[in-house]
């Protein structure tokens, strides 16, 4: 028998001898609360204080030229992500580089005197920004030898995980609340992984997935937003990088971001701080605004009450993709909003529907309910004077209205149902 302290003992396990997986410029994981350091792996919570872990990097030497020489997808930002240098060989769906659309008609309707832009992430492979986070988490899963991609989802993540796993020949296990829109469940099921519809809300789903970590059945699973969450979350930075690059390497003065767990909001801010720190963009003040639905507004509530802690709520809103009652990154989202002089506000389901219709008729963009939340919240922030009409603004449209068609199907429809006869067309078009 060999004592563990025996200096002559062979190194403990064979994996010690295997080459370290290549995570590019990432150097480790660090606790956001106490700063404890951990090696890169499928870890997400600090063993000292239970704080969330975040990827740390050595980004010195990353340049604008290096990024611009990359592919026309989010992999152009590989030097700023916990992924290997882009080789073009990974079987993923190449998300990112979605359109930044100048929205002059909408700007005029809102009384803007400064430019207004929509960053339209419905153009991703499965029609939401979740393809970004999954691409990065999947890359980590493959490097860590995990063969099944799993997640707890409010719908869009389900689509992105099932599609990415299908393309890479991985298994997938997607866990969702059973009351999601058909546009999300039917699409996910068609990618043909395992789809578990749970009788409960997202917070129940998330708790179930956390309880499954460590269960022998999940040994080879990477839950993209649980045990791979540090990598997943970094994928959201690419939305921030892209906005800056597409504006000609600068930040807008205001950005409005829908908030579910709050991760996306914190990472857009992180992206811009990184680019500024590296000298890739000039430092220029920007204000980060968060958008929620009244029926699930724990972060907006905490902001209004001047609190640092988030009181969990039971969600009840048509904006199901944002229906997280106990948002993991809520406190960090509040920090980013307060530090930049922004705000978090919420809007009613009726406001959300009206905003979906306003965006569609003014710009030809059909957003999902989360996009309606973002625009309606911006309208509210303009009305209260918390946001400014003379500051250049980017609104993030994070998903596609075709997945949440029920939100508007009861309030829009044919102008008239007619027989195929010219006189009936005349009748419909006649002034009344």
Ligand X SMILES: *Cc1c(COP(=O)(O)O)cnc(C)c1O
Q: Least distance from C-beta 369 to ligand X, angstroms?
A: 8
Question: Does 33 engage in binding with Zn ion (CB under 5 A)?
Answer: yes
Q: Least distance from C-beta 49 to Zn ion, angstroms?
A: 3
Q: Nearer Cβ to ligand X, position 140 or 176? A: 176
Q: Residue 259: name its binding partner from Zn ion, ligand X, none (Cβ under 5 to 8 Å by kind).
A: ligand X
Q: Residue 391: name its binding partner from Zn ion, ligand X, none (Cβ under 5 to 8 Å by kind).
A: none
Q: Least distance from C-beta 206 to Zn ion, angstroms?
A: 21
What's the CA angle centered on 217, arms 211 and 221, to 5 degrees? 80
Residues 373-412 vs Zn ion: string with x where CB under 5 A? ----------------------------------------
Q: Least distance from C-beta 9 to ligand X, angstroms?
A: 46
Q: Nearer Cβ to Zn ion, position 21 or 28? A: 28
Token pair in block for residue 121: 């992430």
Q: Which of 9, 10, 22, 34 binds Zn ion (CB under 5 A)?
A: 34
Contact of 316 with 249, CB cutoff 8 Å: no
Q: How far is it, in rounded angstroms, from Cα 113 to Cα 104?
A: 10
Q: Nearer Cβ to Zn ion, position 49 or 186? A: 49
Query: Smallest Cα–Cα separation from 261: which of 198, 320, 317, 327?
Result: 327
Q: Least distance from C-beta 168 to Zn ion, angstroms?
A: 33
Question: Does 31 engage in binding with Zn ion (CB under 5 A)?
Answer: yes
Q: How far is it, in rounded angstroms, from Cα 322 to Cα 327?
A: 10
Give the bridge partners for 52, in sequence order.
45
Q: Residue 298: name its binding partner from Zn ion, ligand X, none (Cβ under 5 to 8 Å by kind).
A: none
Q: Residue 128: name its binding partner from ligand X, Zn ion, none (Cβ under 5 to 8 Å by kind).
A: ligand X
DSSP category for residue 247: T
Q: How far is it, in rounded angstroms, from Cα 378 to Cα 384?
A: 10
Q: Residue 401: name its binding partner from ligand X, Zn ion, none (Cβ under 5 to 8 Å by kind).
A: none
Residues 416, 417, 421, 427: is their CA dihedral positive or negative?
negative
Q: Nearer Cβ to ligand X, position 25 or 128? A: 128
What's the CA angle centered on 274, arms 270 and 279, to 5 degrees? 150
3-state secondary structure of 409: helix
Token pair in block for residue 21: 């997986």
Residues whose CB is less than 8 angstroms from the CB of residue 20 and which lie 6 or more positions away in sequence, other chains included: none
Q: Nearer Cβ to ligand X, position 212 or 370? A: 370
Only one residue has tokens 């009244």, namely 294
Beta strands in 9-139 (DSSP E): 26-31, 37-38, 53-57, 99-102, 116-120
Q: Nearer Cβ to ligand X, position 98 or 261? A: 261
Token pair in block for residue 345: 């506000």
Contact of 72 with 218, CB cutoff 8 Å: no
Span 42-61, contacts to Zn ion by CB under 5 A: 46, 48-49, 51
Q: Least distance from C-beta 322 to ligand X, angstroms?
A: 6
Interacting span for Zn ion (CB under 5 A) from 38-46, 142-150, 284-292, 370-378: 38-46
Q: Residue 172: name its binding partner from Zn ion, ligand X, none (Cβ under 5 to 8 Å by kind).
A: none
Contact of 26 with 34, CB cutoff 8 Å: no
Token pair in block for residue 256: 């409005």
Cα dihedral 127, 128, 133, 135 in deg (nearest 10): 10
Q: How far is it, in rounded angstroms, from Cα 300 to Cα 183?
A: 28
Query: Smallest Cα–Cα separation from 214: which of 422, 388, 332, 45?
Result: 45
Q: Exposure of 426 by Cβ count < 10 A (0-12 exposed, 13-18 middle, 19+ buried)?
A: exposed
| Segment (H or E) for 175 | strand 171-177
Q: Least distance from C-beta 14 to ligand X, angstroms?
A: 38
Q: Residue 49: name its binding partner from Zn ion, ligand X, none (Cβ under 5 to 8 Å by kind).
A: Zn ion
Q: Least distance from C-beta 164 to ligand X, angstroms?
A: 15
Interacting span for Zn ion (CB under 5 A) from 26-34, 254-262, 295-303, 377-385: 26-34
Q: Residue 48: name its binding partner from Zn ion, ligand X, none (Cβ under 5 to 8 Å by kind).
A: Zn ion
Q: Nearer Cβ to ligand X, position 132 or 380? A: 132
Q: Residue 33: name its binding partner from ligand X, Zn ion, none (Cβ under 5 to 8 Å by kind).
A: Zn ion
Q: Which residues bind ligand X (CB under 6 A)?
A: 128, 130, 156, 258-264, 321-322, 368, 370, 398-399
Q: Nearer Cβ to ligand X, position 280 or 400? A: 400
Q: Least distance from C-beta 327 to ligand X, angstroms?
A: 7
Residues that bind Zn ion (CB under 5 A): 31, 33-34, 36, 46, 48-49, 51
């Amino acid at each position: 028998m060999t004592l563990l302290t025996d200096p002559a003992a062979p190194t403990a396990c064979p994996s010690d001898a295997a080459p370290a997986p290549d995570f590019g410029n990432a150097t480790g994981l660090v606790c956001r609360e106490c700063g404890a350091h951990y090696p890169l792996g499928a870890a997400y919570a600090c063993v000292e204080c239970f704080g969330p872990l975040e990827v740390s990097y050595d980004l010195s030497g990353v340049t604008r030229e290096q990024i611009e020489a990359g592919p026309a997808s989010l992999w152009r930002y590989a030097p700023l992500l916990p992924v290997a240098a882009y080789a073009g060989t990974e079987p993923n769906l190449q998300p990112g580089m979605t359109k930044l659309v100048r929205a002059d008609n909408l700007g005029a309707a809102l009384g803007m005197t400064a430019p207004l832009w929509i960053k339209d992430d419905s153009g991703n492979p499965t029609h939401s920004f979740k393809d970004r986070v999954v691409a990065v988490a999947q890359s980590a899963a493959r490097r860590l030898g995990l063969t099944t991609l799993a997640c707890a989802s409010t719908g869009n993540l389900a689509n992105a995980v099932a599609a990415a796993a299908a393309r890479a020949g991985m298994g997938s296990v997607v866990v969702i609340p059973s009351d999601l829109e058909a546009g999300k469940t039917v699409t996910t099921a068609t990618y043909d992984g395992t789809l578990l519809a749970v009788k409960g809300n997202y917070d129940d789903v998330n708790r179930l997935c956390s309880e499954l970590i460590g269960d022998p059945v999940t040994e080879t699973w990477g839950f993209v937003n649980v045990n791979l969450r540090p990598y997943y979350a970094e994928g959201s930075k690419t939305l921030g990088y892209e906005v800056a690059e597409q504006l000609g390497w600068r930040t807008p003065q205001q950005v409005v971001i829908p908030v579910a767990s709050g991760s996306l909001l914190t990472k857009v801010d992180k992206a811009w701080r990184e680019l500024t720190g590296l000298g890739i963009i000039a430092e220029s003040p920007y204000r980060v605004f968060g958008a929620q639905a009244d029926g699930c507004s724990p972060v907006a509530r905490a902001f209004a009450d001047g609190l640092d802690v988030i009181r969990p709520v039971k969600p009840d809103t048509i904006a199901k993709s944002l229906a997280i009652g106990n948002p993991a990154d809520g406190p960090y989202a509040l920090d980013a909003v307060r530090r930049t002089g922004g705000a978090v506000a919420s809007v009613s389901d009726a406001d959300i529907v009206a905003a979906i219709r306003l965006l569609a008729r003014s710009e030809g963009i059909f957003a999902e309910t989360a996009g309606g939340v973002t625009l309606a919240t911006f309208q509210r922030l303009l009305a209260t004077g918390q946001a400014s009409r003379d500051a250049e603004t980017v609104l993030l449209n994070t998903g596609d209205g075709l997945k949440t068609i029920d939100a508007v199907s009861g309030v829009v429809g044919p102008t008239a149902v007619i027989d195929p006869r010219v006189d009936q067309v005349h009748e419909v078009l006649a002034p009344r």
